[in-house]
Amino acid sequence: MIEYYDVSGCYVLRPWSYAIWEEIQEWFDKEIKKLGVRNCYFPIFVSQGALEREKEHIADFAPEVAWVTRAGQSEMAEPIAIRPTSETVMYPSYAKWVQSHRDLPIRLNQWCNVVRWEFKHPTPFLRTREFLWNEGHTAFATAKEAEAEVFQILDLYAKIYTDLLAIPVVKGRKSEKEKFAGAAFTTTCEAYVPCNGRGIQGATSHHLGQNFSRMFDISFEDSGSGGKEYAWQNSWGMSTRTIGAVVIIHGDDNGLVLPPRIAVIQMIVIPVGITAQTSAEDRKMIIDKAEQITEILTDNGIRAESDLRENVSPGWKFNHWELKGVPVRVEVGPKDIAKSQVICVIRCSGEKRPVLLKNLSQSAKAMLDEIHSNMYERVAAARRAHTKLTVNWDEFKKYLDMKFQLLSPFCGLPSCEELIKAESAREESVQLGAAAMGAKTLCIPFDQPTDPLPQRCIHPSCKEPAKSWALFGRSY
Amino acid sequence: MIEYYDVSGCYVLRPWSYAIWEEIQEWFDKEIKKLGVRNCYFPIFVSQGALEREKEHIADFAPEVAWVTRAGQSEMAEPIAIRPTSETVMYPSYAKWVQSHRDLPIRLNQWCNVVRWEFKHPTPFLRTREFLWNEGHTAFATAKEAEAEVFQILDLYAKIYTDLLAIPVVKGRKSEKEKFAGAAFTTTCEAYVPCNGRGIQGATSHHLGQNFSRMFDISFEDSGSGGKEYAWQNSWGMSTRTIGAVVIIHGDDNGLVLPPRIAVIQMIVIPVGITAQTSAEDRKMIIDKAEQITEILTDNGIRAESDLRENVSPGWKFNHWELKGVPVRVEVGPKDIAKSQVICVIRCSGEKRPVLLKNLSQSAKAMLDEIHSNMYERVAAARRAHTKLTVNWDEFKKYLDMKFQLLSPFCGLPSCEELIKAESAREESVQLGAAAMGAKTLCIPFDQPTDPLPQRCIHPSCKEPAKSWALFGRSY
């Protein structure tokens, strides 16, 4: 999946992981084009002036901005920043392009790299100093149109998780503390990691209101009053962190487990039962059969390959493809051929399922869909079993340490969220690292519990009224 | 196509130009995957140690390398370079991955941005400090396999020009002076710009021999002797400069002229002949017809759109789409409808061609192919008319100033090429800029003239024997 690299916080995305990204890209790119979004490319560099235009925004990003100060042997007159995100890169152009309401909407997207020089401990895919993402930046004449798009895009992001990656997500709004710097509000889809109970932010879709359009003067003449109107903007992004979510959520002790819809190889066909005693004729018959089966599968739209290498044993191949997470291994041996069948070994469950050759083309697609559903359901079940609704602070802390996510009443104040985080951290946190972190809000779920909302926020010293149920948990 | 930007040498690729890049990407990506190449992503940052490992290579790139020295407020312990190209980024990983000849070939590609902080005057697409490209990096057990791939890839690059962009190219080998720093040899396809006679390097495919594999220790045990063998490597790249070639080669006084196969909109349908006197019924009939025609076209695989805006006149629309280079404008008015026809106006020639509606679906595809051929042939004819074979130095200089490319005998020595360049520059070069530059070799064409090669090199003071005919010219 990755290779380590000699610049700290940077990793190589090898073809096996990059191909997952390509599958996700292809799907999302097609969907946003249907909505009328078009792709473009803005420079990676930002001048200091543009970067610092929106104060709230830059305050959040400034500590992590990488600066280019030298070219060849020449010191630059002014340092140039590398984009941590492209609001400040793109919006000066938007200001030029928008004169009249007829110039709106602008709906652009780019697939690119961004750099955030984090000083926290790096983790492949999940916290890297450079990462790949898509960033959509749109501007509308009305708040209503802009807000509608925020949720349209969030739904597409959620679908990537549920329909491609077999990962359930909770959709919701970020708290004031956790929202994107400079946004009016941020929506998110949040995944749950069964092995450690932590949350992963899946992708975010922000409504920027008129914050940036005022700072960058993206304005037009109001058709009614003739006065100056500012555009209503959104930005939305999803990164290669999605690959990390797949690895950590579905992986097991034997390695990766790839959800079938994004697996580069969905079925790997392996000839078995060839020994030193096998006649050349039988050997050829088995190999031919393996190739024939691979062809049946690919003809039926399955991404299948056969592993016919002679210098490694079938057992070695089993381990190899198991480690790489291929959803189904198809074993073809002399006994199976005699019975006109193959053995399908399902990666996520270990199940060995004989399938008659005459049924193979028909059942292969169904098997992949079944695997998708099972993988999804397994994570969903773990999440359900580890989500606790509580109004009690001690219970909150107790369940947090049992890898739960908590649904609790929340006042919405950043200061209170700080307190919750600090006081839900375990005392031995220095030793335990992430496992001892305090809880933060993952989101305010759109789908609120039906239980009546208590009057008070979950934190015992908070005197504010609860505004909504929030989903709390440790997170990446 | 582009928007200017406040960091010098950087430009915004707007959707109209980026879409051309997407078409090229899609085609090339599919072709290399058929060859077994897989995509991946390596970091944008290079440590100083890795960057400087291959001396010849870094000597060429060092003056243009951008260095990151600061993150947030912290000075970095060691400056980190931004990739100008990724040999030095990727090959340390290749060294880890290659242990046995069974680990070869490695055939990887990435689509990414690179940065070369040039101090020459920037030009959109053609000389930009950041650009997008593909870079393929492959390693083989034998020189023979590697060399075969160099030409396979060059052929794909040439096909992008000839088959997608309608631009003829000359394939050949770069001179010693012009080859890629660190390569054993560089192959190239070179285009000709009719309006100024300059050459544009289209894309290059390099055989690196064992230069980098020795420096980075990409080695394996030789299966015969048991000794250490170094891998044979290639790298190959094509950048967003291709878009620039389209703009400058096909464009005319009325703006862009897009070759049909990469045009986002191949045919734009515009209702005409609607006046203040037109009845609501007739107006609806014309609009409906325009939409119906657009549907016929899209159903036949043509990328067609209709421009039904009511706030601008047909004349305004004609100019608008002409400027944007759409290959065919389809006019639909009451007179045409009465004759069951449309008027197709061909961008590259200005020809107005009535087409009966019943023939439209059939003739539209053929019309685009015809346009492609005509655009190609026009450039090819200009190139033929401005290519001069000469063995005479005065004639060489005279024709160079008449926007010719020259086929002349050449010794191959870098020192002689320097001399040719210096002495073919016009004296008033400071004022005239590029138009007065001296000639360099564009390539040593694979397809050599049949004329007998003279004994001496073209430069009168050169005492070396001519080794081949070289194509000389001013270039971008």
Residue B430 has pLDDT above 90, yes or no: no
- Measure Cα distances from B288 to A463, B328, B455 in Å: 64, 20, 71
pLDDT for res B429: 54
Q: CA B326, B161, B301 angle in degrees (round to 5)?
A: 45
Measured distance between the N- and C-terminal CA atoms of chain A, rounded to whole angstroms: 20
Q: Is A324 helix (H, G, I), strand (E, B) or coil?
A: coil
pLDDT for res A146: 98
Distance CA B439, CA B417 (A): 9
pTM of the model: 0.95
Residue B286 has pLDDT above 60, yes or no: yes
Q: State pLDDT tens for residues B203-232.
A: 999 999 999 999 999 999 887 777 899 999
DSSP A260: G
Tokens found for residue B146: 């590697």
Q: A43 vs chain B: nearest CA distance in angstroms? A: 6
Tokens found for residue A179: 């929202």
In chain B, the largest separation of any two C-alpha atoms, in whole Å, equals: 91
Distance CA A264, CA A348 (A): 16
Q: Can you tell me the mean pLDDT for B32-59?
A: 93
pLDDT for res B245: 97
Kind plus residue range of the DSSP H or E element containing A110: strand A106-115
pLDDT for res B53: 86
pLDDT for res B428: 63
Instruction: List residues bridging with B355 in a β-sheet.
Output: B342
pLDDT for res B54: 80
**CB-based contact A43 B92, cutoff 8 Å:** no
Q: Which of A14, A40, A73 sits opposite B15 (nearest CB)?
A: A40
Q: State pLDDT tens for residues B69-85.
A: 999 999 999 999 999 99
Q: Which of A44, A69, A117 sits opposite B67 (nearest CB)?
A: A69
Q: Does A311 touch chain B (CB under 8 A)?
A: yes
Mean pLDDT, all residues of chain B? 95
Q: B334 vs chain A: nearest CA distance in angstroms? A: 28
Residue B163 has pLDDT above 60, yes or no: yes
pLDDT tens track of chain A, all 476 residues? 899 999 999 999 999 999 999 999 999 999 999 999 999 999 999 999 999 888 888 888 999 999 999 999 999 999 999 999 999 999 999 999 999 999 999 999 999 999 999 988 899 999 999 999 999 999 999 999 999 999 999 999 999 999 999 999 999 999 999 999 999 999 999 999 999 999 999 999 999 999 999 999 999 988 777 789 999 999 999 999 999 999 999 999 999 999 999 999 999 999 999 988 999 999 999 999 999 999 999 999 999 999 999 989 999 999 999 999 999 999 999 999 999 999 999 999 999 999 999 999 889 999 999 999 999 999 999 999 999 999 999 999 999 999 999 999 999 999 999 999 999 998 665 556 666 789 999 999 999 999 999 999 999 999 999 999 999 999 98
Tell which residue, B427, B428, B425, has the closest CA to residue B474.
B425
Tell which residue, B123, B117, B153, B151, has the closest CA to residue B135.
B153
- 3-class SS shares of chain B: helix, strand, coil, % to 5: 40, 30, 35
Chain A positions in Cβ-Cβ contact with residue B92 (cut-off 8 Å): 6
Q: Give A210-245 as a DSSP string.
A: THHHHHHT-EEE-TTT-SEEEPEEEEEEEETHHHHH
Spatial contact of B394 and B332, defined as CB atoms under 8 Å apart: no
Q: Can you tell me the mean pLDDT for B95-108?
A: 96
pLDDT for res B334: 93
**CB-based contact A80 B7, cutoff 8 Å:** yes
- Confidence check on the interface: ipTM exceeds 0.90, yes or no: yes
pLDDT for res A225: 77
For residue B251, what are the contacts with CB-CB under 8 A and spacing of at least 6?
B257, B325
pLDDT for res B224: 74
For residue B446, what are the contacts with CB-CB under 8 A and spacing of at least 6?
B171, B172, B173
Q: CA B384, B386, B388 angle in degrees (round to 5)?
A: 90
**CB-based contact A7 B45, cutoff 8 Å:** yes
Tokens found for residue B114: 């690179």
Exposure string of A117-154, with b = 16+ CB inside 10 Å and e = fewer, is beeeeeebbbbbbbbbbbbbbbbbbeeeebbebbeebb
For residue A288, what are the contacts with CB-CB under 8 A and spacing of at least 6?
none
**CB-based contact A12 B96, cutoff 8 Å:** no
Distance CA A230, CA A215 (A): 10
